A and B are shown apart, each in its own frame.
Chain A
């Protein structure tokens, strides 16, 4: 029977902005329905409408029925009852949704004691069995722990247990794994699938990740700008998208699936055949080959050997962030560093750009020593010309007060004596190189979108004409289509100018699109290195295999023959 029935839902703000437009969604019992879209598509708002969590002064139209009961216009007590008995929700950031001053046990038992008048002992026993159900290793011990004692993945499981404590018929998951590492994500997804199956719940799963949606959902709805663009069987929608938007989204999504043709191409290495596969790193190979051929030098652009960094903490064991790491990038090459949070990949990047000092080891860029901290102005500028960095979050890495053009101009004029007119001309040139234009020069960061900001950050780094560009999770804060744009810009610049890139990411699929070679890091150590495609198709280390297996992958390849 139909658990959730949203039909013709519209939502308008008092200023007339239409945030949701004629949304119709159904979820049956025992079914997993995906709600897929980029930021601002209205997917979270739609999900929140199910629990009556809408903006105060919003005008709604249409209807939302949960087990036949209307949610829109329901009284406070009716809503409370629906939330207590029928539907629960888990959110993206588990740490933001839990009271840091109270124990996990308090969090889990509160609703049971207050709403169901269960005794403290009874509620505690129930909470303990819920924690066991979400596969927490030591339920009774966790009940006494505070949120800060648990990792993000553990805490998300606590939130799931909390959501399940009311035995809901419908579980709404709003990007529940987006803030988590890929291996943790795989565990959470497994827990959710198991609970959904054993309880026969319906699940409404919101995500921006097409691969994730495709691998767990029965049916999906693709949303864009407040409208449902396409809906249907998950396989059908992603294998053979009908709507133009879905097609773009599917094309922009990088994948780690390696087609046989690609391996052949790598082995042949003579030529790069024009492949139909969307995510082929077609551009990176000729760039690498072309620049190595220049007579300048055959010495690698970056040589880091035996680099280590240890953080000493008062009263605690020291953290070995990076242990004896050695990497090399040829001129014009692109190296990916892949690892989960805490693997030391960002620390290594910060040491290479000089934001942190290595305890041991040696870093050379274009043959010049770049290990120590520059002390003089000349040394500082020389270091900056050796290596530039693009940071993860373009919302934070641009000075909010400084316009895009000014930011680039400052960097230019620090390194070269330029007249104002020359500098301005160069700024426009750089902006055009990253697909922006003159009109963006006057814009402050807050008026630019995430992708535009990141492109400004890239232009700013390129203004200094560095030997090496380090990109630290430079696309992970961006939507897939924007990520594709930014990656496209980087690929083009590599092709045109032979830029050497060190690309750090947690996302194997993105690294695979950009980088010829990849190293895998885990708890400060490099565990495996090799050509990206070989690494993906035939990982040698168990950890690499675990990483690759954890990436959500529909169990049907895009190339696979339809089975039904």
Chain B
């Protein structure tokens, strides 16, 4: 069983160990963005929805640092308010998918047998559908907005978490310390929930943070398609969509700024997630 994994590990290029600097920078970026989102009304210079026809497509000025869009709305203010759905959506998805995934994975890995087989096939079916497609189906059924996509993405991402948890739990289950608990007379469910679960949670949690970036990009894509957060609420994906028209006319900022923000957050989250996995997971491949 170990042989193929060993072979794969040998084939992998050795991972270059990044310094902690990029981790610290990433952490700082996320912290700043989170604080900005939380205190948006205090920080944002303008009302994000305030239309100003006197300043349509103004470039960066002292009044509008990042310029304005086709309706003269301040881009910086919209970015700050847009950070709320951009960060909250993925956060909810990561938390929900981790909770669902850990519980299902624990069940499958601990009980094994037919439960494991049935859950495994269900995961395979969910894997067969791209998360974005499931989210679009959910929107078609339950309407646009943030709620339906978040629920759908939580379900779509849970099998990733569940599969990792299942593997970890199955290997923990065969360890002597679990046998020692059994010999002492502890019940199976106590061992699983009180001892094995806390031992695998940090590793699973670190891996789950990596999902944050993917979910953020996919939710932004959904908004870009007009299926996510609805106008006039500020949202990065929706802003890119609205900014498209300006790009044709030579006004890049309204579309580029939110696009860059998406990239920065995704990269920052991945750097953090990988570092956490390295530190906690002891080299468990993603």
Contact = CB atoms under 8 A, between A and B. Distances in A.
B171 to A, nearest CB: 12
Given A396-B175, A397-B176, A401-B198, A100 B183 contact: no
B7 A415 contact: no
B175 to A, nearest CB: 6
A384 B184 contact: yes
Q: Interface range on chain A: under 10, 10 to 19, 20 to 34, or 35 or more?
A: 20 to 34
Nearest to B180: A397
A355 B177 CA distance: 12
B185 A457 contact: no
B184 A388 contact: yes
A387 B183 CA distance: 8
Interface string A376-387: 010011011101
Contacts of B182: 354-355
B240 to A, nearest CB: 45
A399 B6 CA distance: 26
A389 B180 contact: yes
Interface residues of B, number: 18
Contacts of A396: 175-177
Interface in A441-461: 457, 460
Interface string A138-163: 00000000001000000000000000
Nearest to B6: A100
A414 B199 contact: no
A464 B184 contact: yes
A282 interface: no
A389 B177 CA distance: 11
A160 B175 CA distance: 33
Residue among B177, B179, B184 with max Cβ neighbours from chain A (10 Å): B184
B186 interface: yes
Interface in B89-127: none
A370 to B, nearest CB: 12
Contacts of B6: 100
B187 A377 contact: yes
B281 to A, nearest CB: 14
B176 A384 contact: no
Contacts of B181: 399
Nearest to B190: A414
B185 A383 contact: yes
The 4 closest A-B CB pairs, nearest first, are: A384-B185, A397-B176, A396-B176, A391-B176
Given A387-B183, A398-B177, 15 more contacts: A100-B7, A148-B3, A354-B183, A355-B179, A355-B182, A383-B185, A388-B183, A391-B176, A391-B180, A396-B175, A396-B177, A397-B176, A399-B199, A410-B184, A457-B180
29 contacts: A100-B7, A101-B7, A354-B182, A354-B183, A355-B179, A383-B185, A384-B183, A384-B185, A388-B183, A388-B184, A389-B179, A389-B183, A391-B176, A391-B179, A392-B176, A396-B175, A396-B176, A397-B176, A397-B179, A397-B180, A398-B177, A399-B195, A399-B199, A401-B198, A402-B195, A410-B184, A414-B185, A460-B180, A460-B184
